[in-house]
Amino acid sequence: MSENESILSPAAAEAERLQEMALRPKSLEDFTGQSRVSDQIQLLLDAAKSRNHPADHILLSGPPGLGKTTLAMIIASEMNAPIRITSGPAITHAGDLASILSSLVEGEILFLDEIHRMSRPAEELLYLAMEDFRVDVIVGKGAGATAIPLQLPHFTLVGATTRAGLLPSPLRDRFGFTAQLDFYDDASLSRIVKRSAELLEVNIDADAIDEIGSRSRGTPRVANRLLRRVRDFAQVRGDGHIRLADAQAALAMYEVDENGLDRLDRSLLDVLIRRFGGGPVGLTTLAMAIGEEAETIESLAEPFLVRMGFLARTPRGRIATELGWKQLGLTPPVDKAASLASLFDTPSNDA
């Protein structure tokens, strides 16, 4: 089951969301993994507090589910400041952003998720707000229009993006610190699963914790989601205590294999190899072949498959690696490996 799928009713989905919120760490000390980023942010916040001044603007970059929203909430907590949460797609006009900015209070944290999807007019307004803490409100139309400068309180913008490359340089340059979040290792994920199990008051064996952690795609959000599904399995089909066999049976039911690949991952590899001979194939072609949005593949499946070494991106399109073929129990043709080097030379518009 892929990360963007849901078999829950709206009420159950809301309960899941609230439960997920409850599992989030409340301080940098409790934030497992990303120790480099945590230390950098802690230093930045401590310096700001010692000056009794709002922290510099912070950009959090990395794949979905690694803790960008959690870090934004922790930053607000550490600074003892209120937080306002919005997202790039919700800001379609410069006026939308101006309304939010003008209602902020001194020291407030503005968390702007998916900042790379903000409209261009809003981006240009944000430049001035981040640098000079003011916005120009346009009154009137046409030749009689007048720009009235509106002073803003000092605030801290925390932007989050899964695609930092889409941010224009003038916007990136206005952030005082950029944090690049990396995928978590299995040991960190096991610690996260253990902590979440304690918060959920779930009895679970150590080897079951490690099993869930190793199949969590390097992502805490996935780890917590799999833990809840394994808990459900143990409650309904067992005695509530999660043993290794329960974890393995539950994960098999939800189509998460030993490497953490789910249905979407396997569908992508299967189509790429069996239908297109291992590639190269363009992203839009692959998306149409498996009936998914190109953005879903690019943001959810592809980063993990590339990290695992099952898939590679080339100028001519996506290709399945030798490991990708072996993952499906297949052997690539003899001439396939010999031809891979040439795939990095010729560009493709569909890549």
DSSP string, 200-256: TT--B-HHHHHHHHHTSTT-HHHHHHHHHHHHHHHHHHSSS-B-HHHHHHHHHHTT-
The residues, any chain, with a CB within 8 Å of residue 219's CB and separated by 6 or more, are 63, 64, 65, 66, 183, 184
Q: CA-to-CA distance for 168 and 17, rounded, in angstroms?
A: 32
Q: CA-to-CA distance for 33 and 191, rounded, in angstroms?
A: 9
The residues, any chain, with a CB within 8 Å of residue 44's CB and separated by 6 or more, are 55, 56, 58, 176, 177
Task: Point out the catalytic residue in the list 113, 210, 262, 265.
Answer: 113
Q: CA-to-CA distance for 174 and 197, rounded, in angstroms?
A: 40
DSSP string, 42-77: HHHHHHHHHTTSPPPPEEEE-STTSSHHHHHHHHHH
DSSP string, 82-104: -EEEEEGGG--SHHHHHHHHHT-
Q: Which residue has the tokens 């409850």?
A: 22
Q: Is residue 221 among the annotated active site residues?
A: yes
Task: Point out the catalytic residue in the list 32, 70, 156, 162.
Answer: 162
**Alpha-carbon torsion (227, 228, 232, 238), positive or negative:** positive
Q: Is residue 161 among the annotated active site residues?
A: no
Q: CA-to-CA distance for 293 and 246, rounded, in angstroms?
A: 33
Q: Are 279 and 340 in contact (CB under 8 A)?
A: no
Task: Point out the catalytic residue in the list 217, 221, 229, 231.
Answer: 221
Q: Is residue 113 among the annotated active site residues?
A: yes
Joined together, the tokens standing for residue 271 give 């189509």
Q: Are 346 and 316 in contact (CB under 8 A)?
A: yes
Q: Are 59 and 175 in contact (CB under 8 A)?
A: yes
Q: Is residue 162 among the annotated active site residues?
A: yes
Of the candidates 167, 175, 181, 162, the residue with the CA atom closest to the CA atom of residue 113 = 162
Q: Which residues are catalytic?
A: 68-69, 113, 162, 221
